[in-house]
Amino acid sequence: MSEENLLPGIRVKKGDIQERILVCGDPFRAEALAKRLESSCCLQKAREYWTYQGKWQGIPLTICSHGVGASGAMLAFISLIKGGAKAILRLGTAGTLCEKVRPGDLVIATAAAKEDGVSNIYAPSSFPAVADFSVTAALCERSKKSPCHVHLGPIVTQGAFYGGVMPTNTELQAKAGAIALEMETAALFTAGSIYNVKTGAILAIDGNALAVLDSAESHDPDPELLKKAVSDCADIAFDALIAI
């Protein structure tokens, strides 16, 4: 197949991308999520971008991993959009920034602070990164059936996992009302605004983000708790995606 027929990064043909997309960071999580679909198949494995196709309750979906960090993730998001995506929902993990959100809980992100170092290249720093209302509403409606505690609110998308010599303003954003911290959602919301595509995000909380700001090595999620939270996220995400 000639290179011009493949979407950059993800290396999938445009005609193979469905209108509804579920994205996640971990390629192996994408593979596991794809096993929940009917008639699932792998379209491509290119770098961190593993792409699958299948159906949920008879509705065609694409699943694609985007790796860690907003820069590489933005490549995947825009490639998926150029391939025909009309709605992209991120299923990810995050750390809590407030006492009411506990490990094992779920967060539906309404907006994301653009601290990722990428979103402000695509849109002015004053332009907000916000989720599509219809996607958020679908997630909230489907979450009513979830056994998990589900929270709704703004989050922070940060560009670095390890700390450097420069301080972050994460604690200030937490005081302002941000409830979770992760690394890719602001890029997704920004891409959605620029290309007029519906976007949303539901996140499994894997630990306390404020507790590990100075020591990323101390981030050690409970694997069973995280596995259940991700599974609960998926139950909500798949149903919400086909309802959009």
Does 206 qualify as catalytic in the annotation? yes
- First vs last Cα of the chain: how many Å apart? 33
Cα gap 26→226, rounded to integer Å: 13
Dist. CA 5–CA 214, nearest whole Å: 45
For residue 61, give the DSSP letter.
Answer: E
**Looking at 206, 214, 232, 235, which residue is catalytic?**
206
Amino acid letter, residue 65: S
DSSP assignment string, 89-120 = EEEEEEEE-STTS-TT-EEEEEEEEEESSSHH
Whose tokens are 């911290």? That residue is 181
Phi, psi (degrees; rounded to nearest 5) at 14: -55, -40
The values of phi and psi at residue 2, to 5°, are -70, 150
Known catalytic residues are: 206
